[in-house]
Amino acid sequence: MRLTYQSKIRKIAIALASFLFICAISLHAVAQDNNLESRPDYAAVNIFGDSLMDAGNIFNLTERPPSPPYAQKFSNGPLWVEQLADELKLSPALSTKVLPSVLNGKTSPPADGINFALAGSLSSDLNVSGSQLYGLQQQIESFRDLSAIAPPNPDTLYLLLVGGNDYNEAVRLTPSVAALADLPEQVSDHVISAATALIESGARHLLISNLPILGQQPYANFLNQATPQSAALLNSLSTRHNQLLAQKLDALAATTQAEIIPLDLAGLFSAVVDSPTQFGLTNVSDPCLVKSRSETASVSLCDNPKQFLFWDQVHPTEQGHAAIAQLAIETLASAEPQTSPNAVSKLGLLTALGGGMAIAYLALKEGH
């Protein structure tokens, strides 16, 4: 049956209206997925590492570092993991406060996650502050014990950064290129072992950081006073560490379903040192806080810590940590989810376009 001219126009108009409505929905979905905040929210955050990650565990155990001038952690304010957690609207508990009662079954695991990190940790089971304090591998064992009692939420984010103490201590004690040649292989293996254990215990989203180029820290200049090649050796060791870690993380990612996201701390610190004013800093070579050898009293404190990258010879200021936190936020936001909703939305848009044009075509064809 042939359609009248008015019926034909009416049918085409209905088809086009439907088509435009579908397109509008699909375009909205694409716009939403292109937003950097469109990744799923993390339900909790678990943290592992050394003083760049420890938000108060070492202070709870030893009442170090002296606070003030420190802030019960090795900086003058919130660390990058704390600032990142705030951005994620999470408040992970310190392991020294909650872990004993959780492992004894007296309380449930904190909903927002746990910070297991301890200042002084090496990548092994050792700690530079003494045998009574644990290293990274014991942090991982604590998490494994916990996960056996209460399996972790699959939407938990895991943060891992360690290795600086391994290299700083090694160069301080044995500043020899030949003696330390195998150290990057060992330390990077320890990091991979820790990441593998986390994955085996249920971790599905891991943000794993490389190391800053360690010759750029004020501590390297201090070591140079006794052994002039110390800074160059630290540069070489940390550069090799980062190369090996990248290779090994790629290999691990190829054999697991977990999402492994590298954090390029080396690139960030190099950028800050090269262009400090772009990060609101003016001093990227000296520590704001100059301490006595006993670390019990400050000799001097800079007037403007917000313009310093380093709080002491090793650790960043709150502003330095803010730069790391921003890098972490941007890295997490730009990482491709394992199943990209963006790709699905684009497919939906193409389907809508094709379907709408097909409807209009059929309406015209029927009228002939």
Round to whole Å and give the CA distance between 128 and 166. 9
The model's confidence at residue 7, banded by pLDDT at 50, 70 and 90, is low
How many residues are there in the chain?
368
Asked if 36 and 20 touch (Cβ cutoff 8 Å), the reply is no
**Beta bridge partners of residue 179, listed in sequence order:** none
For position 346, what pLDDT does the model report?
Answer: 35
Among 244, 247, 245, 219, smallest CA distance to 233 is for: 219
The tens digit of pLDDT for each residue in 137-166 reads 999 999 999 999 999 999 999 999 999 999
Q: pLDDT at residue 325 above 60? A: yes
Round to whole Å and give the CA distance between 29 and 42. 21
Tokens representing residue 6 in the block: 């008015």
The fraction of the chain above a pLDDT of 90, given in percent, is 74
Let me know if 23 is exposed, middle or buried by CB neighbors in 10 A (0-12, 13-18, 19+). Answer: middle
Q: pLDDT at residue 204 above 80? A: yes
The tens digit of pLDDT for each residue in 15-64 reads 444 444 444 434 344 344 443 444 558 999 999 999 999 999 999 999 99
User: pTM for this one?
Assistant: 0.81
For position 348, what pLDDT does the model report?
Answer: 38
The model's confidence at residue 299, banded by pLDDT at 50, 70 and 90, is confident
For position 246, what pLDDT does the model report?
Answer: 98
Round to whole Å and give the CA distance between 34 and 342. 7
Question: Which residues, at least 6 apart from 287, have a Cβ–Cβ distance to it below 8 Å?
Answer: 218, 308, 310, 311, 312, 313
**Beta bridge partners of residue 49, listed in sequence order:** 161
For position 350, what pLDDT does the model report?
Answer: 34
Distance of CA 68 to the CA centre of its chain: 27
Q: pLDDT at residue 349 above 90? A: no
Q: pLDDT at residue 116 above 80? A: yes
Other C-beta atoms lying within 10 Å of the C-beta of residue 169: 14
Other C-beta atoms lying within 10 Å of the C-beta of residue 354: 11
Round to whole Å and give the CA distance between 150 and 128. 31
Average pLDDT over residues 266-293: 92
Among 319, 262, 310, smallest CA distance to 286 is for: 310
Average pLDDT over residues 322-339: 86
Tokens 């180029």 belong to: 213
The tens digit of pLDDT for each residue in 60-108 reads 999 999 999 999 999 999 999 999 999 999 999 999 999 999 988 889 8
